[in-house]
């Protein structure tokens, strides 16, 4: 479904991704693990069109998307729930979700997506008229994922969904991520600092260091790998 081949990305003159190559097959949950600053977020931002590669190719369902505008990438079926959630704090929960459906022009289809998000995250329905800034960290993360789901993506990019969230809500959010894959058939590329939880959820994983993929394997094999355990699993 998604293939990155030899992708280079820069911040000014600083090279952040060095010939990065990964693939995500339809129906999979794939996780990208690594330390802070390794290039995980940059990878997702490049896929979603927030950054442009200087070299390499990015293809989605056989079509090259590297360097396309972000809104065109959303229209093709890729949605991004970013690091730090980035919700609109002055808008209500419902208004935030409506922003996620801005490319859906059929009102009945948008209403159907809204009800699906409320089914996944009942707390959002309870707080539909509250401003996003009044939600807890965990609820804001649910809102960020729900907003991404409003476009009915084929591929969902999740960046650090457990960051800054109480442990009990982390478990809930990870159950809902699996539910999104199982019930909606959504393919997921997950960046997550909690490597143990990410690998327990994922089918496959990649280890990234200083912008380079240094290891890839089935998630279970990475969980059992002594070097991966020492470096990332504690």
Q: Residue 105: pLDDT above 90?
A: no
Q: What is the pLDDT of residues 196-215, one digit of tens each?
A: 999 999 999 999 999 999 99
Q: What is the pLDDT of residues 120-132, one digit of tens each?
A: 999 999 999 999 9
Q: What is the pLDDT of residues 47-85, one digit of tens each?
A: 999 999 999 999 999 999 999 999 999 999 999 998 877
Q: What is the pLDDT of residues 2-53, one digit of tens each?
A: 999 999 999 999 999 999 999 999 999 999 999 989 999 999 999 999 999 9
Question: Which H helix or E strand runs over 60?
Answer: strand 55-60
Q: Give the Cα separation of 193 and 199 in Å (integer).
A: 11
Q: Where in the chain are the domains? A: 2-233
Q: Give the Cα separation of 73 and 67 in Å (integer).
A: 10
Q: Give the Cα separation of 138 and 124 in Å (integer).
A: 11
pLDDT category at 234 given cuts 50, 70, 90 is low
Q: Name which of 80, 100, 116 is nearest 189 in CA terms.
A: 80
Distances (CA, A) of 171 to 120, 128, 198: 14, 23, 11
Q: Give the Cα separation of 231 and 75 in Å (integer).
A: 38
Architecture per CATH, domain 2-233, reads as 3-Layer(aba) Sandwich (3.40)
């Amino acid at each position: 479904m998604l293939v990155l081949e030899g992708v280079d990305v820069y911040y000014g003159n600083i090279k952040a991704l060095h010939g990065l190559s990964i693939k995500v097959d339809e129906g999979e949950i794939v996780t990208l693990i690594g330390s802070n600053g390794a290039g995980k977020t940059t990878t997702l931002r490049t896929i979603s069109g927030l950054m442009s590669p200087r070299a390499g190719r990015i293809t989605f369902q056989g079509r090259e998307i590297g360097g396309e505008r972000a809104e065109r990438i959303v229209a093709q079926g890729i949605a991004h729930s970013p690091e730090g959630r980035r919700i609109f704090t002055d808008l209500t929960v419902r208004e935030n979700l409506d922003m996620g459906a801005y490319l859906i022009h059929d009102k009945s289809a948008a209403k159907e997506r809204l009800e699906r998000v409320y089914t996944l995250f009942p707390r959002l329905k309870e707080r539909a008229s509250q401003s996003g800034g009044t939600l807890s960290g965990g609820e804001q993360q649910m809102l960020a994922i729900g907003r991404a789901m409003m476009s009915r993506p084929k591929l969902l990019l999740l960046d650090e969904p457990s960051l800054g969230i109480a442990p009990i809500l982390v478990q809930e959010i990870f159950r809902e991520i699996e539910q999104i894959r199982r019930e909606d058939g959504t393919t997921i590329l997950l960046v997550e600092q909690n490597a143990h939880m990410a690998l327990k959820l994922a089918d496959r994983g990649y280890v990234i260091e200083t912008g380079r993929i240094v290891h890839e394997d089935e998630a279970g094999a990475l969980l059992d790998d002594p070097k991966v355990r020492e470096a990332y699993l504690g």
